[in-house]
Structure 1
Amino acid sequence: MIQRLLRHNLNQNNNNLWLVFLRCSVAALTLINFTAIQFDFSSIFSANAFIPPDINDVLKNPLIPSIYSIAQFAKPLMSYEAVLLAFRVLYPLALLLLLTGMFTRFSALLSLVLQLILLNSMDFYTYGLDEFTTIALFYCFIFPTGNQFSFDAHFFKKRADTTHYNKYLLLFRVHVCIAYFFSGFEKLLGYNWRNGESIWKMLHGYNMLSFVDLDFLYKTPIFLIAGWATIFLEMLYPIFMNIEKTRKYWLIGIIGFHVFIAFFMGLYFFSCMMIILNVTAYYIPYPVFRLKTIS
């Protein structure tokens, strides 16, 4: 069955605009997310942050530099605040270049490197969105995302070589499928999702809509059903998302699940990123858009 699904993915006549959508949507969402934290930027990164950078630096990944370690290295030439300002300017600039497809490979790599350094400088504040942003920027770098509808394609007359596009899409889909399967498998191992407790806590402990009273559902099996539905939705994702007759319904279910997370937990950027990955992998490649490819 796995061989049949792989062969089916490789032989499909896909719409290659999924690469354009991936580049533009990931760059735009990451830029908006970075803009959203500007109000708290000093509280997270500055020398007078809630958690001082030298303390946060103790827990950083030793293989990746942090803003503090870079500032220490550049101390004779630049102050910590000057290094921080450089990151504050360079990161959105790199994302803007990626969004427009200007020097796409370089801007994607620069965005990825800066994002990793920023994450390594705020270990206490990271969550699922940051890991998936890293994954998405990595694919923007290794895939030819600047070959269509970009400044690179327009000014440098790059031609889109579609020879390996199906292999790129297959790799991307395999990664997304693995992520969902093991997310569901992890939920299956614990009792919290199997007895509905996690759904109950999500709606009560983290409910962004505090005016919505769901206590009347206490003695109903709705939370138990929702917990198992989440497990099945994620664990069976690799199968039913790759079957033509069930793909549409599974995609609607996954998007609905992430809208639910955004609506009740307030994880708007995380939900948007996951929806982008799903739409990139299993929606954009199929519709036939009557658009003229820039080459």
Structure 2
Amino acid sequence: MTNVPPIKTAWEVGKTSGRNGTGHWRYWDRPVDDLLRAAEDWALALEGVKRPWLCWNLNDRWCLLQQRLVAEFGWTPVVGWDPNCGQRPGTLIPGAVAVDFNARLGLQVLYPHVPMEFAFAWADRLAFWHADVLMPRAKMARAAEWFQAIPDGEMMAVKTYGGWRNRLRPKFHRYWEVLGCTTRAASLDQFNKGCGWWRGYQQHPNAPSDAAERRRRARFYDDHGCGIQYWQRFCGGRVAKIPESWIAREHFSVITVPNYVRAASKSEEIDINFDLSAIARQLQIEDLLPRETGLT
């Protein structure tokens, strides 16, 4: 009897054969020029868009609600997706833009950190949030105002300390892409100084090569967004802080649910663990649910 190898989950693929698409310099195995050429296509797709807000489609129902929220407050939903989760957007609202960020790259996995890292090459400013974030209108209005007011060269993001036990341990502090907005000049300055959203910024191709700088970088954690924290602390970067507590109740993730049920992908998990209709009612945005499709 032939032994059939087990099918890998999306999580396993991201940790093995697809890890070069997870936004980690240690595992990026192609020329950086491949990313810059891809960004030329992304820029063409957004031509004429003044206020793009990245909505990463890991679940079509959630993404559709995110699109409607973003559009209501004067921003343009820019919908991307990860081929590892099989979530090319099924529905776009009028005015939304779907961008296949992976069209030229052909990666097995594509985290949103990939286009976010290179925002300087395709957008004057770029708002973003996690695929599992939804906010009431009052908070959406506040965030939209904040993001529009950010001067070029500055950015805004959620500051996380890695839990109370790490609050006094700066090596673990980082900025988190759960909600935020960057500008072209800020993104470019990060790239030029070897910082940014990707993990492993210690191996960034533009990281200074002198021994003292490398020793200093090695002292700090390398999760996504640690490079933004480093840019602010040591490279003159300007980051406006969104307190983690401000968005905590609107972030529906593994850290907010007791007995969270794991599945083959985040796309499956968000349906298993959360009731979208109940959340929309709680946030008083149930009128944005697409009733014509029978979504619940």
Q: Normalised by the size of structure 1, how large is the TM-score?
A: 0.25
Compare the two structures and name the one with the higher strand fraction.
Answer: 2
Compare the two structures and name the one with the higher helix fraction.
Answer: 1
- Structure whose CA Rg is larger: 1
Q: Normalised by the size of structure 2, how large is the TM-score?
A: 0.25
